[in-house]
Structure 1
Amino acid sequence: MAIRRERAHVDPVSPEPPVPDEARVVRGEDWYGREFAGERFERYTFYDMDWTEAVNDGAVFDECTFSGVRFNASRHTGAAFTNCTFRRCGFFDARFEQCKVVGSLFQQCEFSLIQVTGGDWSFAGLPGADLRGAVLDGVRMREADLTAARLEGAVVRGVDLSGAMLHSTTLTGADLRGSDLSSLDPLTVRLGGAKIDPEQAAVIATALGLDVC
């Protein structure tokens, strides 16, 4: 699937958002605890909704916009959110397992206690995201935009970050073991107290111009 947006370097909210298709606008509805099973939504816009404790098993959302949607304590398994935009959404204690979130952009969202296991989040835009304490385990995040993101104390294990944008990212105290750090510039990130394995140490040393013998 082609990615049709440019990756962001900041966390803007567009002053001129695309005009939604009124026939595909869902506004203010309470979907607390709703169950999704293989449904498909294309170019829908969801405004100010409660998706708390929703259970999403394999639903597909393509080019959808979520604004002010609360995903707190929701569970998503094998679902897809491709080329979507999330504005001012809440993901407190949300769980994503083996989901596809390719090309989606997150703006001014809250991620407390979020857990992501497996799946593909390549090209996702998370600039400036507050991911402190998040768990990212075995996720593919190739060329994801994590510019200035905060990942203090996060678990980022076995994550494919090849080509990811990590300028000004804070990784202090994070567990990075097993992740691809080939695109990390140690001079532009904060790494104090982060946990890394010997192979990653060699990659970082090489990036600093050291000769690893």
Structure 2
Amino acid sequence: MTERRVIEGESFRDEDRYGEQLRNVAYTRCAFHDVDLTEAVSRGVVFTECTFGNVRLNASRHTDSAFLRCTFTRCNLFDAEFTDCKLTGSTFAECDLRPLRVTGGDWSFAALPRADLRGVAFSGVRMREVDLTGADCADGVFRDVDLSGAQLHRATLRGCDLRGSDLTALDPTTATLAGAIIDSTQAIVIAQTLGLHIR
């Protein structure tokens, strides 16, 4: 197994890294500002407690990588893909996140309050205690997603495909659900949340 090269406490600013191939490197407490990572590809890369400001990650592809407790501010993730990645505890503010495709991995404790997630697709992702307060997820896909403990107050899930996901944290009286697609097991969970008796 190739040992990761470690980069710690460095700052990267105004760099053109378009299409860069990132492999076997670990960034710890590094800062990226106004960096162009359009169409970049990462595999097995770990970012820990890094900050990303005005970073272009559009059309980037990430596989088996980790962004742990990172902060993304005003970043562009248009058409980005994450496959089996960890974004545990990361925070997103004023970011362009659509369209976004996430398959597998762990986004638990990530903070996406008031995020525009219309049409995004999450599949088979662990998102325990994720903060989606006030997020607009209309017409998105959350299939087989672990949303246990998620903060969904004032979230818009209109037209979402939610089948197979854990909706035990969903209060249907505080979220917009018109047109959402659920399965029969989820329907029972929601009915019980509303205090209905099923016989």
> TM-score, structure 2 length as denominator?
0.95
Q: Superposed, which structure 2 residues align to 1:104-143 within 5 Å?
A: 104-143=90-129
State the partner residue of 2:69.
Answer: 83
Matching residue's letter, 2:109: F
Is the partner of 1:72 in helix, strand or coil? coil
Q: Confirm whether residue 46 of structure 1 aligns to residue 32 of structure 2.
A: yes
Matching residue's letter, 1:75: R
Structure 1 residue 98 displacement after superposition: 0.2
Q: 2:150 aligns with which of 160, 164, 169?
A: 164
| Distance change in 2, residues 1:23/1:60 (3 Å) | closer
Is the partner of 2:187 in helix, strand or coil? helix
* Contact 2:9/2:28, CA 8 A, preserved across alignment: no
- 5+ residue gaps in structure 2? 1-7
Matching residue's letter, 2:61: R
Structure 1 residue 212 displacement after superposition: 1.3
Higher-strand-fraction structure: 2
Report the number of matched residues. 192
Q: Give distance in 1, aligned partners of 2:17 and 2:51.
A: 16
Structure 1 residue 112 displacement after superposition: 1.3
Is the partner of 2:189 in helix, strand or coil? helix
Matching residue's letter, 1:117: T
Please give the per-residue CA displacement for 1:111-145, whole angstroms capped at 9, x wherever unaligned.
11100000000000000110000000000000010
- 5+ residue gaps in structure 1? 1-21
Q: Confirm whether residue 58 of structure 1 aligns to residue 44 of structure 2.
A: yes
Q: Give distance in 2, aligned partners of 1:172 and 1:112.
A: 16
* Contact 2:9/2:31, CA 8 A, preserved across alignment: no
Q: Confirm whether residue 180 of structure 1 aligns to residue 166 of structure 2.
A: yes
Q: Give distance in 1, aligned partners of 2:135 and 2:24.
A: 32
Q: 2:130 aligns with which of 117, 125, 144?
A: 144
Q: CA RMSD in A?
A: 1.0
Q: Give distance in 1, aligned partners of 2:88 and 2:80.
A: 18
> TM-score, structure 1 length as denominator?
0.89
Q: Give distance in 2, aligned partners of 1:192 and 1:116.
A: 24
Is the partner of 2:62 in helix, strand or coil? strand
Matching residue's letter, 1:28: D
Matching residue's letter, 2:190: I
Structure 1 residue 23 displacement after superposition: 5.8
Is the partner of 2:122 in helix, strand or coil? strand
* Contact 2:159/2:179, CA 8 A, preserved across alignment: yes
Is the partner of 2:142 in helix, strand or coil? strand
Structure 1 residue 102 displacement after superposition: 0.4
Q: Give distance in 2, aligned partners of 1:144 and 1:112.
A: 18
Is the partner of 1:200 in helix, strand or coil? helix
Q: Give distance in 2, aligned partners of 1:137 and 1:101.
A: 15
Structure 1 residue 211 displacement after superposition: 0.5
State the partner residue of 2:186.
Answer: 200
Q: Confirm whether residue 74 of structure 1 aligns to residue 86 of structure 2.
A: no
Is the partner of 1:206 in helix, strand or coil? helix
